[in-house]
Chain A
Amino acid sequence: MPELSRRRALTAAAVVAGAPFAAATAARAAEPHHDAHGGSHDSPESFDEVYRGRRIQGRPATGSGHHHGGGYAVYVDGVELHVMRNADGSWISVVSHYAPVSTPRAAARAAVDELQGARLEPFPAG
């Protein structure tokens, strides 16, 4: 799929106007809600932004049969990214599984960085 990746990358580059917005919100997103992580599993807030030319969204998930992220779902260009919340409140995703970050938005951004424009595969239903 190199052709697809390249097209995606070019698309991402064309929409790079979205990047300043993403950069402006990056600092805020990087601040963990430490007070909300004290063992309780209240869900983080929803988010919806364009980061490096790609739409990333996150929201509390209801009736989750296959979610292991403490009832929270993350999407990259509409495709669900499997995320998981660690006991200390940090987050990982299936494309960055060994490097915890502080919020699901940070996990979504780490995924966009790692994907380098490639499309995400829907994760197997089981």
Chain B
Amino acid sequence: MTVRKNQASLTSDEKRRFVAAVLELKRNGRYDAFVTTHNAFILGDTDNGERTGHRSPSFLPWHRRFLLEFERALQSVDASVSLPYWDWSADRSPRSSLWAPDFLGGSGRSRDGQVMDGPFAASAGAWPINVRVDGRTYLRRALGAGVRELPTRSEVDSVLAMATYDMAPWNSASDGFRNHLEGWRGVNLHNRVHVWVGGQMGTGVSPNDPVFWLHHAYIDKLWAQWQRRHPGSAYLPGGGTPDVVDLHETMKPWNDTAPADLLDHTAYYTFDALDADRPARAVAG
């Protein structure tokens, strides 16, 4: 069974294997297909039209399935690899080990935002940005430049306290847990993290930065935590909603899985710890 771990508690061997598997997917072309799919949904999901991957109730199950596909691809390269998650409410500095040269590399240089260290730096030669919205073919970041602060634990808690999964009009104007977690409304969790990282992470082709997966793995974990806090709260809407994926409706692009099939993450993976905030560090002392 796959166990998703806090990135901060990975051993050097786990980091090395994760990086190697990601680089292999890049080399064989499978990685860029994920970027293309994400951008297609970013462009296509609209508040007043069909919406599936973003700004809609299916934001969470869509990304859960998207991450599962990516994780399975990683495991086809190295069966020991699972997706780590980045708790940005705890590891909230550009000096975090997440951004060290042995893992994701650091922020971009000021002149052009180019990441200059780590396995995904253009200079390392293994990470061309092929699916892009502008002419630049190198990975860029500007950690903390677009917005100064990552969300705090108390801001996360304020969103986890929202008992209703989602509400009409089921888009970026909605009240409720999903839209506050996504960030179009309120304290802004998920969207703000994209902006904080900057570079490609701020664009429709955000999966060009491998931190995309660690960010979404934590968003996914927050969904699981929310379910534990609100066992009586269900995915909404339950049926008959135009342009919106209802509980038992299948989702594009897979067309074989409904949100109902993805509500229980334990059918696919578990977390190192779901209730405690920083279990691995507590153990490590």
A contact set with B: CB distance below 8 Å: 1-2, 4-5, 8, 41, 68, 70, 82, 84-88, 94-100, 114-116, 118-121, 123-124
- Judging by beta carbons under 8 Å apart, are B191 and A99 in contact? yes
Q: Is B253 an interface residue (CB 8 A)?
A: no
14 A-B pairs with CB atoms under 8 Å apart are A5-B136, A68-B46, A68-B49, A86-B55, A88-B172, A94-B42, A94-B133, A95-B133, A95-B204, A96-B203, A97-B206, A116-B113, A119-B135, A121-B133
CA distance A11 to B137 in the complex (A): 20
Q: Digit string of B28-72 for contact with A (CB within 8 Å is 1, else 0)?
A: 000000000001101110111100000100000000000000000
In the complex, residue of chain B having the shortest beta-carbon distance to the beta carbon of A99: B195
- Judging by beta carbons under 8 Å apart, are A97 and B134 in contact? no
Partner among B43, B46, B113 whose Cβ is within 8 Å of the Cβ of A123: B43
- Judging by beta carbons under 8 Å apart, are A1 and B202 in contact? no
Q: Is B138 an interface residue (CB 8 A)?
A: yes
How many residue-residue contacts, CB under 8 A, span A and B?
87
B contact set with A: CB distance below 8 Å: 39-40, 42-44, 46-49, 55, 112-113, 132-138, 146-147, 169, 171-173, 183-184, 190-192, 194-195, 202-204, 206
Chain A residues near B171 (CB, 8 Å)?
Answer: 87
CA distance A85 to B172 in the complex (A): 10
CA distance A105 to B39 in the complex (A): 22
In the assembled complex, the CB of A60 is this many whole angstroms from the nearest CB of chain B, namely 17
In the assembled complex, the CB of B200 is this many whole angstroms from the nearest CB of chain A, namely 9
In the assembled complex, the CB of A71 is this many whole angstroms from the nearest CB of chain B, namely 11
In the complex, residue of chain A having the shortest beta-carbon distance to the beta carbon of B193: A98
Given A99-B146, A99-B202, A116-B113, check contact A84 B134 (CB 8 Å). Answer: no
CA distance A115 to B190 in the complex (A): 23
Chain B residues near A84 (CB, 8 Å)?
Answer: 46
Chain A residues near B194 (CB, 8 Å)?
Answer: 97-98
Given A95-B202, A97-B202, A98-B191, check contact A2 B138 (CB 8 Å). Answer: yes
In the assembled complex, the CB of B240 is this many whole angstroms from the nearest CB of chain A, namely 21
CA distance A124 to B42 in the complex (A): 12
Chain B residues near A1 (CB, 8 Å)?
Answer: 135-137
Given A68-B46, A98-B194, A98-B195, check contact A114 B202 (CB 8 Å). Answer: yes
- Judging by beta carbons under 8 Å apart, are B135 and A121 in contact? yes
In the complex, residue of chain B having the shortest beta-carbon distance to the beta carbon of A114: B202
Chain A residues near B138 (CB, 8 Å)?
Answer: 2
Partner among B44, B134, B146, B202 whose Cβ is within 8 Å of the Cβ of A120: B134
